[in-house]
């Protein structure tokens, strides 16, 4: 993000800085705040903080994530209701636990809300609470506490969600990290990409009234128009109500099938870049594996959007991308097909060694530029050509005429 | 607080509602989210959520608190720097852990910040981070993670702080709650009251330039004026940089000396009201025990303020008020004098039975009106008269002419 004075400010740089300085302030590499309670935070670079401090009887790790949603940055009251927002902010945090293969446990909700003509603080807080409780109930999370206060400016919701790693087939209970990808791994995508971004574009174009873009009379529509309408409603729904893939990730982590895992909150290219960086590997995606789903394809044809652009960089899908050996990949595909038949799964590329791919790598010093992954990621086009997906490279790829 | 549509919205009501509904959603009274991990949240009604879920080897309880600071509600950039704000937001959360007699462990920081002409996002985040790290270092807390994002509106900081209860002399590691006060207990105050509110008034009157209200030339001031100046700087400092009484509370909890404890964030009357409500007791304060400190007394004389009003309802002092048996009270006074000679300590009243005092009590149904404690709290004036401190009663008491 760029602030008003034109300085570049990256979230990743800030968190890097925070962790490095916190560690430095303690004067040690691996931090123990107590004799009894060893604490070794793994981070930055993963979706959750990982603490070895608790549940030592079971050898599990405690996971903690904290994601904020800030008005007009992450959501707009123009097209989300309080209950939908409450559900979504939990989904975003649940997805971080899913991205470590973990099991969510306890939530703490912080709300700073401003009353308005359209919605009073009471209406907002009750609606948000309903949404939070609905998500907690669905994913067996206990809402353990919170803080709520007035806001003089916009609305702001902060969730802290704890979880625990799950024991794998060897009895180890280690979280699945971003740093475990090895050359030769397949890249596996769980869930769909691009729909949330398409839904947001539709909301920005048409707004939302009632139950998503309903026409005056359904009777006037022929079946093709109805199908289009349905497609639009579905992608909008993907944006408004993402489904965190918690049980799927947990199942695969228990079976020790994943070498690395991340959730796709900032777009596939950017998020896979984190795995490349943390695992010190490169990746080649296959365009053939990145076909849009039926609704997304239809929406993109209708509005002339490049679906690959949305798939590679759309963000906010809360799909999961992981890497696994070839043998594990076959088991993953089989498990997903049998146990989660409604969740899309696809092999979308492969992990290669850094040296196999040209391009400049960032330094590992945790500087603000440190999340650049130029050259680490490329795509094998349907034509057979391999094109580098540099930080913004896919823009050119998506529309070579620009 | 009152929202723009005039509806009364209480934080306490919201948290009550949240906890009651979260418990109801799970369909049980004492909640266990797992066979292995019993979870029994104590709340609402205490400063932290209390979880029995961790550190079971040591019989300790895990404490979690989450406090937000929201721009122009809890702070103003007119008179606080980013580093001071970072320190203060940690102090506010540390005070919640202190209020359970606990030991703070890990912090997670969420920032949503907006760049401005005066301060860029980078300057704000770096400064806030410096303040957070300073407080973490001072209180041996590990900063384990966070989330930072842009804000389109005001600035928000949300801290989640974990801690643990400390083992007492019987080897039990139970947090000190608000519900343990019994008739006959003394009410003990650790720290000073009213200074923070006086400091805020001065900031609102005079603003802040550089190092707190410095005159053009110290040389022009006689010794009385210098002393006044110093007093003003001190009370402003109390507002800007509260000192959470973590080691003091921990020491007394380890020695099993406290029956109940709370921190004074919303004003003495309101916060003692929580103990009355949770413990189902009444209280009589002694005006004689509530003398202002020297600086506060001098400031109040100078500006014609009623010091008792500031002491009873000022808030944001992050002092601690607890109750203890008579024998324990003597030990507390002795320990404080020997081990924490710089921390003020005073016996400010006594706990009585509900029935000993007239007045209406709130229902226990957790309704929005549930934090009213009319009639539970009264004060024995210097004249010997006993006057009820109803919810806003002390306003009349402070200025009978109004």
pLDDT in tens, A248-303: 999 999 999 999 999 999 999 999 999 999 899 999 999 999 999 999 999 999 99
Nearest to B136 among A3, A25, A122 (CB): A25
> Was B147 annotated as part of a binding site?
yes
What is the residue-averaged pLDDT of chain B? 81
Residue of chain B nearest A106, judged by CA positions: B33
SS3 per-residue string spanning chain A: CECCCCCECCHHHHHHHHHHHHHHHHCCCCCECCCCCECCCECCCCCCEEECCCCHHHCECEEEEEEEEEECCCECCCCCCHHHHHHHHHHHHHHHHHCCCCEEEEEEEEEEECCCCCCCHHHHHHHHHHHHHHHHHHCCCEEEEEEEEECCCCCEEEEEEEEECCCCCCCCECCCCHHHCCCCCEEEEECCCCHHHHHHHHHHHHCCCCCCCCCCCHHHCCHHHHHHHHHHHHHHHHHHCCCCCHHHHHHHHHCCCCCEEEEECCCHHHHHHHHHHHHCEEEEEEHHHHCCCHHHHHHHHHHCCCHHHHHHHCCCCCEEEEEECHHHHHHHHHHHHHHCCCCCEEEEEEEEEHHHCCCCCCCCCCCCCCCCCCCCEEEECCCCCEEECCCCHHHHHHCCCC
Listed residue (B339, B131, B154) closest to B247, CA to CA? B339
User: Architecture of A32-164 per CATH?
Assistant: 2-Layer Sandwich (3.30)
Confidence of residue B93 (pLDDT cuts 50, 70, 90): very high
Nearest Cβ partner of A14 from B17, B120, B148? B148
Q: Assign a CATH topology to domain B11-164.
A: 60s Ribosomal Protein L30; Chain: A; (3.30.1330)
**A11-35: pLDDT as tens digits:** 444 555 555 555 444 433 333 333 3
**pLDDT in the model for residue B61:** 81
Higher pLDDT, residue A14 or A38? A14
pLDDT confidence bin for B147, thresholds 50/70/90:
confident
Whether the pLDDT of residue B396 is over 80: the answer is no
Interface touch A146/B26, C-beta < 8 Å: no
The helix (H) or strand (E) run that includes residue B202 is helix B195-206
Dist CA A129 CA B48 (whole Å):
19
Whether the pLDDT of residue A238 is over 70: the answer is yes
Residues B192-219 have a mean pLDDT of 79
Q: How confident is the model at residue B368 (pLDDT cuts 50, 70, 90)?
A: very low
Length of chain A: 402
The mean pLDDT of B187-202, rounded to a whole number, is 96
All residues of chain B having their beta carbon less than 8 Å from the beta carbon of residue A71 are 152-153
| Facing residue for B64 by CB, picked from A22, A71, A108 | A108
Domain B178-200+240-398 has CATH 3.40.50.720: no
Tell me the shortest Cα–Cα distance from A192 to chain B, in angstroms: 25
At A307-338, the pLDDT tens digits run 999 999 998 999 999 999 999 999 999 999 99
Instruction: Report CB contact under 8 Å: B120, A3.
Output: yes
Residue spans of alpha helices (H) in B27-169 = 82-98, 121-138
pLDDT at B219: 65
DSSP code at position B118: S
Closest Cα in chain B, distance from residue A218 (Å):
37
Domain locations in chain A? 1-30, 32-164, 178-200+240-398
Look at residues B281, B249, B280, B247 and name the one whose alpha carbon lies nearest to residue B262: B249
Is B317 a known ligand-binding residue? Answer: no
With a cut of 90, say whether residue B102 has pLDDT above it.
yes
Residue from A48, A151, A156, A163 to probe the interface with B (highest B Cβ count within 10 Å): A156
Q: Confirm whether residue B47 is marked as ligand binding.
A: yes
């Amino acid at each position: 993000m760029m602030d008003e004075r034109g300085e570049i400010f990256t979230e990743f740089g800030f968190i890097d800085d925070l962790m490095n300085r916190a560690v430095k302030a303690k004067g040690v590499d691996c931090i123990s705040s107590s004799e009894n309670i060893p604490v070794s935070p793994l981070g930055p670079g993963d979706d959750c903080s990982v603490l070895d401090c608790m549940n030592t009887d079971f050898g599990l790790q405690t996971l903690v994530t904290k994601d904020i949603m800030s008005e007009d940055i992450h959501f707009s009251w123009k097209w989300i209701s309080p209950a939908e927002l409450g559900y979504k902010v939990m989904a975003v945090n649940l997805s971080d636990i899913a991205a470590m293969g973990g099991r969510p446990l306890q939530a703490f909700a912080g709300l700073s809300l401003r009353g308005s003509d359209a919605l009073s603080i009471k209406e907002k807080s009750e609606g948000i609470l309903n949404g939070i409780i609905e998500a907690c109930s669905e994913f067996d999370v206990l809402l353990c506490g919170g803080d709520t206060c007035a806001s003089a400016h916009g609305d702001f919701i902060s969730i802290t969600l704890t979880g625990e790693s799950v024991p794998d087939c060897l009895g180890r209970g280690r979280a699945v990290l971003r740093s475990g990808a090895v050359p030769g791994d397949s890249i596996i995508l769980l869930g769909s990409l691009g729909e949330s971004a398409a839904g947001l574009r539709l909301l920005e174009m048409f707004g939302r009234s009632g139950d998503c873009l309903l026409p005056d009379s359904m009777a006037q529509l022929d079946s093709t128009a109805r199908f289009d309408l349905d497609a639009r409603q579905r992608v909008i729904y993907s944006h408004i109500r993402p489904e965190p893939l918690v049980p799927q990730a947990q199942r695969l982590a228990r079976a020790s099938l994943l070498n690395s895992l991340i959730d796709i909150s900032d777009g596939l290219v950017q998020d896979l870049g984190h795995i490349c960086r943390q695992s010190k590997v490169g990746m080649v995606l296959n365009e053939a594996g990145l076909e849009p789903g039926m609704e997304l394809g239809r929406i993109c044809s209708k509005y002339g959007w490049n679906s690959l652009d949305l798939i590679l960089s759309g963000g906010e899908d809360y799909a999961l991308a992981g890497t696994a050996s070839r043998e594990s990949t076959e088991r993953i595909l089989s498990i997903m097909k049998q146990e989660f038949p409604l969740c899309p799964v696809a092999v979308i590329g492969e992990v290669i060694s850094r040296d196999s791919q040209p391009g400049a790598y960032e330094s590992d010093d945790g500087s603000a530029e440190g999340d650049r992954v130029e050259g680490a990621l490329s795509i094998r086009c349907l034509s057979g050509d391999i094109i580098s997906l540099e930080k913004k490279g896919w823009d050119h790829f998506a529309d070579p005429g620009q």
